[in-house]
Amino acid sequence: MEINFVTDGERADVPRQYVAVCRMINFRGHKNVETHLFRNGWTDEEMEAVANLDVVAGESSLPEEIKANVSRTAALECLLETFTRREAERVARYLEERYAGQIARLDICPIEFPLPLGITALGKIPATDTGGFIEFARAKNYPLDFELRGYYVIPEDSK
Protein backbone atom coordinates (compact mmCIF):
# COMPACT_ATOMS: atom_id res chain seq x y z
CA MET A 1 0.00 0.00 0.00
CA GLU A 2 1.47 3.31 -1.09
CA ILE A 3 0.88 6.17 1.35
CA ASN A 4 1.35 9.80 0.31
CA PHE A 5 1.07 12.15 3.28
CA VAL A 6 1.52 15.80 2.33
CA THR A 7 1.68 18.55 4.93
CA ASP A 8 2.49 21.47 2.60
CA GLY A 9 -0.32 24.00 2.74
CA GLU A 10 -1.29 23.22 6.32
CA ARG A 11 -2.79 26.20 8.18
CA ALA A 12 -1.81 26.51 11.83
CA ASP A 13 -5.07 28.29 12.71
CA VAL A 14 -7.35 25.49 11.45
CA PRO A 15 -7.56 22.43 13.72
CA ARG A 16 -9.17 20.08 11.19
CA GLN A 17 -8.09 20.27 7.58
CA TYR A 18 -6.75 16.95 6.30
CA VAL A 19 -8.60 15.07 3.57
CA ALA A 20 -7.91 11.47 2.59
CA VAL A 21 -8.63 9.47 -0.56
CA CYS A 22 -7.81 5.83 -1.11
CA ARG A 23 -7.88 3.68 -4.22
CA MET A 24 -9.23 0.24 -3.41
CA ILE A 25 -7.78 -2.58 -5.48
CA ASN A 26 -11.05 -4.51 -5.65
CA PHE A 27 -14.32 -3.49 -4.01
CA ARG A 28 -17.56 -5.37 -4.56
CA GLY A 29 -16.22 -6.88 -7.75
CA HIS A 30 -14.94 -3.59 -9.16
CA LYS A 31 -11.33 -2.53 -9.64
CA ASN A 32 -9.69 0.78 -8.70
CA VAL A 33 -12.56 2.16 -6.66
CA GLU A 34 -11.87 5.65 -5.36
CA THR A 35 -13.02 6.22 -1.81
CA HIS A 36 -13.09 9.62 -0.08
CA LEU A 37 -12.56 9.12 3.63
CA PHE A 38 -14.16 11.40 6.17
CA ARG A 39 -14.80 11.88 9.84
CA ASN A 40 -18.50 11.42 10.51
CA GLY A 41 -20.33 13.62 12.98
CA TRP A 42 -19.51 16.73 14.93
CA THR A 43 -20.82 18.58 17.92
CA ASP A 44 -22.33 22.05 18.16
CA GLU A 45 -19.18 23.08 20.02
CA GLU A 46 -17.00 21.92 17.12
CA MET A 47 -19.16 23.92 14.69
CA GLU A 48 -18.85 26.98 16.91
CA ALA A 49 -15.07 26.54 17.01
CA VAL A 50 -14.77 26.77 13.21
CA ALA A 51 -17.60 29.26 12.61
CA ASN A 52 -15.37 32.33 12.87
CA LEU A 53 -12.41 30.98 10.93
CA ASP A 54 -11.61 32.68 7.64
CA VAL A 55 -11.91 29.52 5.54
CA VAL A 56 -14.94 30.02 3.27
CA ALA A 57 -14.95 32.02 0.03
CA GLY A 58 -17.18 35.05 -0.18
CA GLU A 59 -20.44 35.23 -2.09
CA SER A 60 -19.48 38.22 -4.22
CA SER A 61 -18.48 36.19 -7.27
CA LEU A 62 -21.60 34.01 -7.32
CA PRO A 63 -24.56 34.72 -9.59
CA GLU A 64 -27.65 35.88 -7.69
CA GLU A 65 -29.69 32.75 -8.55
CA ILE A 66 -27.03 30.55 -6.93
CA LYS A 67 -26.56 32.62 -3.76
CA ALA A 68 -29.98 31.61 -2.45
CA ASN A 69 -29.06 27.90 -2.58
CA VAL A 70 -25.67 27.96 -0.85
CA SER A 71 -24.63 28.43 2.72
CA ARG A 72 -21.48 29.06 4.66
CA THR A 73 -22.65 26.41 7.14
CA ALA A 74 -22.61 23.72 4.42
CA ALA A 75 -19.00 24.59 3.59
CA LEU A 76 -18.10 24.43 7.28
CA GLU A 77 -19.72 20.99 7.50
CA CYS A 78 -17.24 19.87 4.83
CA LEU A 79 -14.43 21.21 6.99
CA LEU A 80 -15.76 19.32 10.00
CA GLU A 81 -15.57 16.07 8.02
CA THR A 82 -11.81 16.51 7.63
CA PHE A 83 -9.22 15.16 10.05
CA THR A 84 -6.71 16.78 12.35
CA ARG A 85 -3.15 15.93 11.42
CA ARG A 86 -2.98 13.42 14.30
CA GLU A 87 -6.28 11.81 13.24
CA ALA A 88 -5.06 11.57 9.65
CA GLU A 89 -1.88 9.83 10.84
CA ARG A 90 -4.02 7.40 12.86
CA VAL A 91 -6.26 6.73 9.84
CA ALA A 92 -3.20 5.94 7.73
CA ARG A 93 -1.85 3.51 10.37
CA TYR A 94 -5.25 1.85 10.78
CA LEU A 95 -5.75 1.35 7.05
CA GLU A 96 -2.21 0.11 6.58
CA GLU A 97 -2.54 -2.41 9.43
CA ARG A 98 -6.02 -3.61 8.55
CA TYR A 99 -6.54 -3.11 4.81
CA ALA A 100 -3.06 -2.94 3.24
CA GLY A 101 -3.81 -5.82 0.87
CA GLN A 102 -7.03 -4.17 -0.30
CA ILE A 103 -5.83 -0.60 -0.81
CA ALA A 104 -3.36 0.31 -3.54
CA ARG A 105 -2.86 3.93 -2.56
CA LEU A 106 -3.76 6.39 0.18
CA ASP A 107 -3.37 10.13 -0.36
CA ILE A 108 -3.66 12.54 2.58
CA CYS A 109 -3.20 16.31 2.39
CA PRO A 110 -4.62 19.58 3.72
CA ILE A 111 -7.83 20.76 2.10
CA GLU A 112 -7.48 23.78 -0.14
CA PHE A 113 -8.68 27.09 1.24
CA PRO A 114 -10.87 29.00 0.85
CA LEU A 115 -13.63 26.44 0.75
CA PRO A 116 -16.02 27.28 -2.07
CA LEU A 117 -19.64 28.05 -1.36
CA GLY A 118 -21.96 25.45 -2.80
CA ILE A 119 -20.09 22.34 -1.67
CA THR A 120 -21.86 19.54 0.18
CA ALA A 121 -20.55 17.40 3.01
CA LEU A 122 -19.76 13.85 1.88
CA GLY A 123 -22.08 12.40 4.50
CA LYS A 124 -25.01 14.24 2.92
CA ILE A 125 -24.54 12.80 -0.56
CA PRO A 126 -27.23 10.21 -1.28
CA ALA A 127 -26.12 6.66 -2.04
CA THR A 128 -26.70 5.49 -5.61
CA ASP A 129 -26.09 2.36 -7.69
CA THR A 130 -22.53 3.53 -8.37
CA GLY A 131 -21.68 5.33 -5.15
CA GLY A 132 -22.24 4.79 -1.48
CA PHE A 133 -20.72 4.52 1.95
CA ILE A 134 -18.25 2.28 3.71
CA GLU A 135 -18.79 2.18 7.45
CA PHE A 136 -15.29 1.47 8.75
CA ALA A 137 -16.41 2.02 12.35
CA ARG A 138 -18.62 -1.07 12.18
CA ALA A 139 -15.61 -3.36 11.69
CA LYS A 140 -14.77 -5.73 14.51
CA ASN A 141 -12.22 -4.28 16.97
CA TYR A 142 -12.40 -0.83 15.38
CA PRO A 143 -9.62 1.16 17.14
CA LEU A 144 -10.32 4.81 16.37
CA ASP A 145 -12.21 7.10 18.76
CA PHE A 146 -14.07 8.82 15.92
CA GLU A 147 -16.29 7.41 13.21
CA LEU A 148 -14.42 6.84 9.95
CA ARG A 149 -16.57 6.57 6.85
CA GLY A 150 -15.79 6.45 3.17
CA TYR A 151 -17.77 7.58 0.15
CA TYR A 152 -16.92 5.36 -2.80
CA VAL A 153 -17.54 5.87 -6.49
CA ILE A 154 -17.42 2.90 -8.84
CA PRO A 155 -15.77 3.82 -12.15
CA GLU A 156 -17.67 2.91 -15.31
CA ASP A 157 -14.80 0.79 -16.64
CA SER A 158 -14.04 -1.05 -13.40
CA LYS A 159 -15.07 -4.64 -14.14
Q: What is the pLDDT of residues 10-48, one digit of tens each?
A: 999 999 999 999 999 999 889 999 999 999 999 999 999
Range of the domain at 26: 2-153
Flag whether 8 is in a domain.
yes
* Predicted pLDDT of residue 64: 72
d(CA 108, CA 39): 13
Residue 112 lies inside a defined structural domain of this protein = yes
Evaluate whether residue 159 is within a structural domain. no
What is the per-residue pLDDT for 58? 78
Question: For residue 82, what is the DSSP state?
Answer: S
> Checking phi first, is residue 19 left (phi over 0); if not, alpha (psi -120 to 50) or beta?
beta
Which stretches of the chain score pLDDT less than 50? none
Burial bucket for residue 136 (CB in 10 Å: 0-12, 13-18, 19+): buried
Number of domains in the chain: 1
CA distances for 77 relative to 70, 82, 154, angstroms? 12, 9, 24
Q: Looking at the domain assignment, is residue 158 inside a domain?
A: no
The CA distance from 91 to 143, in Å, is: 10
